[in-house]
C-alpha cells in the first residue's frame, strides 16, 4: 500500500497483477532481476499505491469476502451449487488496472 514497486518471479499469482513497467517487473533470470533493480526508479509510485488501495485495501476486499460468504449461504439454504444465484450477476475479484494504464 506504500507504492513500492514489485520485483518478482514470472510465475504464480504475481503474473495476474504485476504489469511489467507499470507497477513492477516480473523476472526469470538473475540478469532480469539486476535490470529490474536498476530501472525500478522509473515506475510511478503514486500510481502503484492507487492500484494497491483500489484492489487490496479493506474497502476493496471486504465486499469480495462478503459476496463469497453470501454465495456459500445461498448454496446451503437450498439453491444448490449448480443453481443460479442472485449474486452471480455481480463480478467480484477483478483487478482495476485503469490507474496503471492512465498516462
* Residue 38 maps to a domain: yes
Identify each DSSP E strand in the chain by its residue range: 6-9, 24-27
d(CA 24, CA 17): 9
pLDDT number for residue 78: 63
Closest CA to 20 of 31, 34, 30, 6: 6
Give pTM, 2 decimals: 0.67
Of 26-30, 65-69, 87-91, the range with the lowest mean pLDDT is: 87-91
pLDDT per residue over 20-49, tens digit each?
A: 999 999 999 999 999 999 999 999 999 999
- 70 lies in a domain? yes
Q: Which residues pair with 26 in a beta bridge?
A: 8
**Structural domain for 54, as ranges:** 6-101
| Residue 1 is assigned to a structural domain of this protein | no
Q: How many domains does the chain have?
A: 1
Amino acid at each position: 500500500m506504500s507504492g513500492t514497486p514489485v520485483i518478482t518471479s514470472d510465475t504464480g499469482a504475481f503474473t495476474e497483477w504485476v504489469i511489467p513497467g507499470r507497477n513492477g517487473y516480473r523476472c526469470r533470470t538473475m540478469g532480469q532481476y539486476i535490470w529490474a533493480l536498476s530501472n525500478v526508479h522509473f515506475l510511478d509510485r503514486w500510481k502503484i499505491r492507487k492500484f494497491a488501495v483500489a484492489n487490496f485495501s479493506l474497502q476493496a476486499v471486504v465486499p469480495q469476502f462478503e459476496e463469497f460468504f453470501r454465495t456459500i449461504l445461498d448454496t446451503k439454504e437450498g439453491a444448490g451449487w449448480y443453481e443460479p444465484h442472485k449474486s452471480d450477476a455481480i463480478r467480484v475479484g477483478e483487478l482495476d488496472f485503469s490507474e496503471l494504464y492512465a498516462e
